[in-house]
Every structure is written in structure tokens, then in C-alpha cells.
Structure 1
Amino acid sequence: MRFKCQIKNVNLFAKFCASLASLGQIAWCRLNDEDVQFTIVPDKGSQVWSVLKIETVFDIESYILQSASEKNTINLEVPIQALSRALRSAYGATSTQIRLTKKDNVPMLSLTIITNTFSSGNNAVAVPAAATEGAVPDEFDFNDDFAAPSMTPANRGGPRERETIITQDIPVKVLSMEVVERIHQPRTQEPDVNIYLPPLAQVKTISERFTRLAIATSKSSSSTSPRLELSANMHGSLKISLKTDALNITSRWTGLTNPELDPAQFQDGLEGVRNHPSTKMKELAGPNGENEAGWSKVRIDAKDWSRVLSVGRVSARVIACFINDGGLVMYVYLPNDENGSEDESCLTVSLGSLTCDP
């Protein structure tokens, strides 16, 4: 079993892991020859199912993966918060490598981070060659944000480039195929409304303001999370509402975009588009979209919703799919490179009462 690769897009990978870390402590990571999958299925709260194309964050030419399973599949249980903290050390690094290794018989995801800095001869610390020859970089304590750096010897006198190597080790658990076969993505019906969300930072600010007001005016325990009502229609409108004994407030966005359905995705083509629930909801909403029958509504836990909105740090392109009185599925699209690409990876977040495949 072997995994080793250069991380080419450290910033995106770090933001991605930070978003997952806000939703759970443990992630299931599946590596194979085609893609990389991260999944979080907590006992309570939102589920995350993400599929990253290898080239989205890794250097495809250095991607080495070997195992006895089909497609060289390796399944790992990863403490995602520890991985997120370790990746912070790689911001601005010259090179970052990730590999699966073992220390003291414990499987590890090991990050080797190389940075180059310039220093003057007066400030450089000279390290005898005997002290560094064959030395192993300091290991990572995942309770700390940063590991102590291991540095190359410094030249005496004159400005010089100094290479710093940081190694961070994250303990993981290798999962058997029998264990992961019991993990299934929620099965959802066709959505009633599909809509591009406004900037999630904006949505998060308003949602948290509503939540604070609800807690401040509630007679129950402050530890009880209020529930927000989210609703949208196929005429580009989205609403967030909060109704309690003391409050009845709503924030509304208009002029948003509803994605067009692709007839090629349906077995019966245009007929499938015409019979789709979202097409019928658009007709029910009327020409101006104000008919309440054309709005799809879901009620979600406010604190859980706030955590979900942290995915906004990863991408500004998010589609929300509303299943009336059922659940909400968010698709967060990640471009393969900094210049954007039509071929994208996707992070899927499921909220609400969704059933799982058997």
C-alpha cells in the first residue's frame, strides 16, 4: 500500500479541509486512480460528500497510488481538523508533499513542507554539518498548530537563501472495504427548486443575526438552537425567515439565477424537462413568482446551517436544491485550476430529512 504526491494547490486544499473541519472531526478519505473523495457523516447534523478530481489539488504527474484493491483504492479515517491545522504551515511554501507512511506501527499522513527564505549572514544561525547530516525533520504533534522547523546549515557571511523543512504527521486509520461498504450517500428525490445562492458570507451574516435575535428573545435555554425557514422559487428569489412568539422577520434576495435543466441528462429529453418538479413549480409561482404554491420551503437548525455556510471560503459558485418540506442539498463547485475550468470537482452538503440508499 503506497500513496505519495505533490500538492499543487495548497491554498484551495487548505480552505477545503478547513470547511470540512467546521462540520465534523473525522472524515472518511477514499483515494483511487480516478479521484479523491472526502466524506463526513456525523451522528447529528449535515452530511458532506465531496469528489475532488486528482488534478484539482494534486500534481497528477507525481501522483503515486498502489494497493491490492480495485483501482488501487485506499480508504482512510482522517482527523480532518488535524489535517487542516497542518496545512496552515504550507501557505506560501515552495513545495508541499503528502504521503502515507507508518511510524511506530501507526499509519500516518505525512506532510513535508519546504520553504525558502533569504537571510543576512549576521542573522543566520550556523549549524555544524555533523549535527544535520542524516538528521530527520521534527515530527508533528497534531495538538499544535505548527511543528518545529528543521533547517539546513547556514553559510557564514552575506545574504543567502535558506531552506526550511517542516514535517507534520497526522495519525490516520486504514479502513477495510467491508467497513466502508456500510457508508452510503443520502438518496434524494428530484428537487422542486434549483437556485444559485448569493455570496455565502452575506447569507451567513444575516442568518447569524437572526439566530442571535431568536436566542436573545427566547424564554427557553440559550443552548437550544432556533430553526430557520429557507424558501426559494424558480423566479430567482430566496428568503430566510425566523418566526417565534416574539419575532417574525424575513430577509429576501431577488434577481438570483435558476440553473437551466439539460435535456441530455434525461432519458426522455425535453419531455423529462417539462415533467420535472422544478418546471411545474415555476408555473405554479405565476408570472411574477409571488404565488406561495410555487415556493419550496425547508426548516433547518440555525447552528448547523451556520457551520455549513463555512464552505463559502472554498468557492463562490454554489447551487442549492430545495426538496419541499424535506431537505436541502448544496453543490459547491471547485475549479480545477486558478484560471477556472469547465471540468470541476464538487462538494455536496446534505441537510434535513434525507433517506440513505440501502
Structure 2
Amino acid sequence: MRFRGKIVDVGCIQHFTRVISMVAKLAKNCTVRITASKIYFILSERLVNGGVNIWCELSQTNFFSEYAMDGLSEDYNEIFLEVVPDNMVKCLKTAQTAKSVKIKLTKKHSPCLTFEVELPSLTGHSRVVTHDVPVNVIPRRLWDEFEEPEMPDFDVSIYMPSLKVLRNVTDKMKNLNNYVTIAANGSGEMVLKVETDMASVSTHFGDLSNPQWSKENMPAAANSQPKDRDPEKFAEARIDIRKFSQFLSGQQVNPERVICNILDNRVVHFFLLHDDVSLQYFMPVISS
């Protein structure tokens, strides 16, 4: 297996750093899937056990000026690596004004992703700083565990309000309860609610839009608002407020749109859309 990529545009280096930083805030460990056209960051936990699922993908052509990879074989031309994303962030923090960043899969004492950061110098001569990030190569027999999560037919799909506003609201609610109920309907309304023994506190958002999905423009087959569902009827889900806050505070790529899909009392799916990055984040429902 072989992988080598080079980023020379400062804007691309900074954007790539923001993507990895976002993943690092959501997952301590993740799987990096490298293909000929895309790089994926994947976290797959069992939702029934309170885990979350993350599926982040970016197109390599939007970041890399040079890109070459040879996968496991001609039939399985992919590479799967287990990595600590925070270690990648630490390497990239030194590269925010770099002339270039090379990323290579190397074999030293163990497999590594090696970052070669070319920094400018006042003397006119560049200097290269090298970082080795240890990785584990995932064998072919385990690849099926890292397939894109299939999305069910959600009861409600809605564009979310400003994430900054949601984060401020959620941070205040964290002091009241460990869980928050998120509810939305097909008429552009969303509610965040926490309950205590003494009170019930809720924040209402209106005039939001409801996207109309089709199988052609979803990353996996799913429908938008069910045709026979009353648009005024709310679908809701009770989720871990700290995980929700972590998701909101981890968004550093300034997504153009964020969609919340709710399967009533089953699962919440957040879908972030940007020009060259998309992220899906599944959160399980906590029973009351």
C-alpha cells in the first residue's frame, strides 16, 4: 500500500486543518479511509449502546495539488487506517503559514502518517519539520464495519438555525439537565427543551425551511417529510446535551447549511453541507 499527498495552497492547508480539528472534537479515535478520489473520517459506534456515528468525506481534488495512492490490491484499491485525529491536528498547527505540507504513509518502527511541513525562513532557505503520527492498518476482513451508515425514512427534516445561537442556548441548558429534547415539524418550527423537577424550559425557533430530499441528492436513500404526515405535528428525540453541545462547538468549517433529521424517539441525524466537505452525525435517543 502506498499513499502520498501534497498541499501547497495556504488556504487549503488551513481548511484541511479545520476539517481535522472538527473531527478531533467529535472523536478521540477514528478511521481514515483513503480512496483514489476521496478521504473519509469515520467513527462507527453502536447507537443502541449510546454511541454516535460520524461520516465525514472530502474530495481530494479540492485540497491536494499532488495525490497518489495504491490500495490493498487492484480489486480493493483503498486504505483503512485507525488514527487519533488530535495527533494530526498537532502536526498541522505548525503548518498554518507553511509553503507546503506533504502527507505520506510510511513504515518506521510501526506504520505512520508522516507530515513534512515546509516552512518559510527569513534567510530565504526553507526548513522542513517532520512529524510521525502512529496509525494502525485495518485488515480487509474488517472493512465492512466502516460502510456509510444507511439513513432511515425520517419523520421530519429541517434546516437548523445559526449554530452559534444554538450553542449559546445549549450551554445555558446544560446547567439544568443532562438531556435535551429536540423537536421539529414540517412547518419550519424547531424547539429545544429541558425539564427539571421544578420547571420546564424551552426555546422556540420559527420560519425555518424544510428541505425536500430525493434519492438523487441524498448520500443514502431517504425521504423528506412523509406525504401523509401532518406538517404541524412535531417529531422529537431526547439526546445527551453534552454530546449535542460538543457537536455544536466542534463546527469549524462554517458549513453553508446544516440539516437536522429526526426519526421520532429513535435517532437524530445532523447533516452538514459545505462546498468540499460533508459530515453526517448520528446521535441515539435517550429513553426517559
2:191/2:205 contact within 8 Å kept: yes
Segment of structure 1 superposing worse, 31-40 or 5-14: 5-14
Q: Tell me which of 304, 325, 332 is aligned to 2:243.
A: 304
Larger CA Rg, structure 1 vs 2: 1
State the 1:300 CA deviation.
0.2
- Which TM-score applies when normalising by structure 1? 0.71
- Give the Cα–Cα distance (whole angstroms) in 2 for the partners of residues 242 and 107 of structure 1: 46
* Aligned-partner Cα distance in 2 for 1:326–1:230: 12
Once the 2 structures are TM-superposed, how far is the Cα of residue 206 of structure 1 from its aligned partner? 0.8
Among 34, 51, 55, the alignment partner of 1:49 is 55
Rounded Cα–Cα distance in structure 1 between residues aligned with 2:192 and 2:17? 30
Matched, 1:164 2:116: no
Deviation at 1:83?
Answer: 0.9
Residue type at the aligned position of 2:191: K
Q: For residues 205 and 3 of structure 1, do their structure 2 counterparts lie closer, same or farther at Cα, with a shift above 3 Å needed? A: same
Judged with a 3 Å threshold, the aligned counterparts in structure 2 of structure 1 residues 194 and 173 are, in CA distance, closer, same or farther, namely same
Pairwise CA distance, 1:261? 3.4
1:34 partner letter: S
- Which residue number in structure 2 is paired with residue 4 of structure 1? 4
Aligned match of 1:188: 151
CA distance in 2, matches of 1:234, 1:174: 44
> In 2, distance between residues paired with 1:88 and 1:202?
28
Shift in alpha-carbon separation, 1:181–1:38, aligned structure 2, 3 A: same
The equivalences for 1:278-293 within 5 A come to 278-281=226-229, 283-285=230-232
Tell me the distance in 2 between the aligned counterparts of 1:10 and 1:181: 31
Q: Which residue of 2 aligns with 1:228?
A: 180
SS in 2 for 1:180: helix
In 1, distance between residues paired with 2:238 and 2:59? 33
1:203-242 pair list within 5 angstroms: 203-214=166-177, 226-242=178-194
User: Counterpart in 2 of 1:58?
Assistant: 64
**Structure 1: stretches of 5+ with no match in the other structure:** 119-159, 215-225, 267-271, 286-293, 337-344
Choose the corresponding residue for 1:352, options 266, 274, 284.
Answer: 284
Q: Contact 2:19–2:253 at 8 Å: present in 1 too?
A: yes
Structural mapping, 1:1-358, within 5 Å = 1-7=1-7, 8=9, 9-42=12-45, 44-59=50-65, 62-69=66-73, 70=75, 72-104=77-109, 106-118=110-122, 160-214=123-177, 226-262=178-214, 277-281=225-229, 283-285=230-232, 294-316=233-255, 317-336=257-276, 345-353=277-285
SS of alignment partner, residue 260 of structure 1: coil
Query: 1:26: how far off?
Result: 1.2
For the 8 Å contact 2:35–2:71, the answer to whether it is kept is: no
Cα deviation for residue 42 of structure 1 reads 4.2
Tell me, yes or no, if the aligned pair for 1:4 and 1:98 is still in contact at 8 Å: yes
After superposition, give the CA deviation of every residue in 1:282-308 in whole Å (9 maximum; x if it has no partner): x441xxxxxxxx111011001111111
Determine what percentage of the aligned residue pairs are the same residue. Answer: 23
Q: Quick one: structure 1 residues 85 and 48, their matched pair in 2 at CA, closer, same or farther if it must change by over 3 Å?
A: same
Ranges in structure 2 where 5+ consecutive residues have no aligned partner: none
Kindly provide the amino acid, as one letter, of the partner of residue 46 in structure 1.
V
Letter of the aligned partner of 2:158 in structure 1?
A: I
Q: Which residue of 2 aligns with 1:146?
A: none
